Structure 1
């Protein structure tokens, strides 16, 4: 009798223990349990890389884990993007990208992933206006002088950019079409390599975002000829509108995507961490020092903007490639 009772009691305890373990598992597996990797599909030294250094220095305070940057340039941003698309949808591998790679490339390449189906937005960090730049020793003192030379000498000027159909290629193509001139467009693996090519004299002009410009302008290595938008960014540099470039040209959104299927709990934690980071005074000061704005959006807010971009970029590509 005692032996039978003992067996029954042990069996009952085992069942109860299993039930408790099952009940406690979610609590033991609360996200995040380990560092989060943020893949950048661009090269070192560009604006995404510089922004990411600040993000990863501040967000651990709100996420509770380190965030590690992995630069994966190649194929105009597709290499790193595909890597994240193929990664586990567990919240531990994210993509820090921009609107041209995300929503435009699907209209010019046969991608191995579907942007709207394979990714979900976590948060937008900010957006930035592009600047047209030359070396300080360039013979072109103004944007008008550069355009005049390009019209008289079609294809002679070398324009270094961050990759085909990327954040520099698209506005450059729009500007050339709008003002009716041609330059030889040379691709590099990101804004950093494109900047180095310009400084080395391998190209005549390029584009850049504020985070990559400040120190170079102060050091007298770069001259800015015009900046995107209606308003001036630099007091003595005209805006695109002032030099005859109207419309939504030259703006890049920086945002974070996760693989589709990522648990909602993880997405909520990530979105909350990015929102808190955006309100952090140290983060704001560091971004201001970099020359960047802080313009956060939730994942849902950016998804609405993203869907509108898909329609607009379809029309843009058709316009730019029409004969």
Structure 2
């Protein structure tokens, strides 16, 4: 009798122990989370992601790892995440042009609305037109005059067709009846390096990529997006004859569409918690970036509006 009772206790204990470590009962996340950036190194997404991944582990209870996967104007990395397991361990750090605009100009290997769900919008950034400090173009008007006088000779480095640098450039060319020679690179970082090395005459950039270059005196900003001036002596797009919604990039975290609600809730709560983190806010301020969080549900509403607006935008640019 004693032997039977003892064996039964052992089996019960083993069953309890097995249940305690069962994957089905484990709490997400059990391992590091990978955040794929579909762009090259050194761009604003890369710089913003370094701040996020250095501070979010305190709230996520796991490390977050950046993986840069540039190619095909952002489609390579985006497809990688679309094809990944919907378990919360592979996320996409993208922007509105890749997410909602490209579907109107190309047959994509994925369906943005069907294959992804927003986790959070991290912030948004106004773009700036940039030349080297030794450029002969001292003002935006001088740049436009050159592009009109010699169509195709003024080379602009950008981050890929219909990307965050390409779209505002196309809007500027249409608004001012000018033409740049558009040269693609695998992200904003490589595009900026092309400018600095002399392979391009201009590019565009965001505050995080420009702050150190302006401090070192390597570049000159000729115009910026937004209703108000970012730099006191630099005009806005509206002041130089480029009206409308031009040059705003929303940085968004997306997950595969079938990611479990509990996982999405944990992720969203972790990103939202960054708003109250002093280190995160200080590091973002040093980058020159704003902190303007939006929940996944709220950004989804904006995303649906973007899908419609970008169809009209593409039509206006290509006609």
Task: Say if 2:234 is the partner of 1:237.
Answer: yes
Report runs of 4+ in structure 1 exceeding 3 Å deviation. Answer: 9-28
Equivalents in 2 of 1:214, 1:16: separation in Å? 60
Which residues in structure 2 correspond to 1:302-313 (within 5 Å)? 302-313=299-310
Equivalents in 1 of 2:7, 2:313: separation in Å? 70
Equivalents in 1 of 2:17, 2:137: separation in Å? 74
- Secondary structure, in 3 states, of the residue corresponding to 1:293? coil
User: In 2, are the aligned partners of 1:44 and 1:192 still within 8 Å (CA)?
Assistant: yes
TM-score, normalising length: structure 1: 0.94
Q: Which runs of 5+ in 1 are unaligned?
A: none
What is the aligned counterpart of 2:84 among 82, 87, 102? 87
Quote how far apart the aligned CAs of 1:154 are: 1.2
Q: What residue in structure 2 maps to residue 35 of structure 1?
A: 32
Q: What residue in structure 2 maps to residue 165 of structure 1?
A: 162
Task: Say if 2:222 is the partner of 1:219.
Answer: no
What is the aligned counterpart of 2:258 among 248, 261, 266? 261
User: In 2, are the aligned partners of 1:41 and 1:77 still within 8 Å (CA)?
Assistant: yes
Equivalents in 2 of 1:112, 1:23: separation in Å? 41
Quote how far apart the aligned CAs of 1:159 are: 0.7
| Alignment deviations for residues 33-60 of structure 1 (CA, whole Å, 9 cap, x no partner) | 1100000000000000000010001000
- Secondary structure, in 3 states, of the residue corresponding to 2:87? coil
What is the aligned counterpart of 2:185 among 185, 188, 194? 188
Which residues in structure 2 correspond to 1:266-277 (within 5 Å)? 266-277=263-274
User: In 2, are the aligned partners of 1:121 and 1:303 still within 8 Å (CA)?
Assistant: yes
TM-score, normalising length: structure 2: 0.95
Q: What residue in structure 1 maps to residue 283 of structure 2?
A: 286
Equivalents in 2 of 1:224, 1:246: separation in Å? 18
Quote how far apart the aligned CAs of 1:246 are: 1.3
Q: Which runs of 5+ in 2 are unaligned?
A: none
Q: What residue in structure 2 maps to residue 321 of structure 1?
A: 318
What is the aligned counterpart of 1:295 among 285, 292, 297? 292
Equivalents in 2 of 1:26, 1:80: separation in Å? 28
Q: What residue in structure 2 maps to residue 52 of structure 1?
A: 49
Quote how far apart the aligned CAs of 1:151 are: 1.1
Quote how far apart the aligned CAs of 1:109 are: 1.2
- Secondary structure, in 3 states, of the residue corresponding to 1:83? helix
- Secondary structure, in 3 states, of the residue corresponding to 1:213? helix
Q: What residue in structure 1 maps to residue 144 of structure 2?
A: 147
User: In 2, are the aligned partners of 1:230 and 1:242 still within 8 Å (CA)?
Assistant: no
Equivalents in 2 of 1:152, 1:209: separation in Å? 28
Equivalents in 2 of 1:55, 1:23: separation in Å? 32
- Aligned residue pairs, count: 319
User: In 2, are the aligned partners of 1:101 and 1:165 still within 8 Å (CA)?
Assistant: yes
What is the aligned counterpart of 1:68 among 43, 65, 71? 65
CA root-mean-square deviation: 2.0
User: In 1, are the aligned partners of 2:19 and 2:25 still within 8 Å (CA)?
Assistant: no
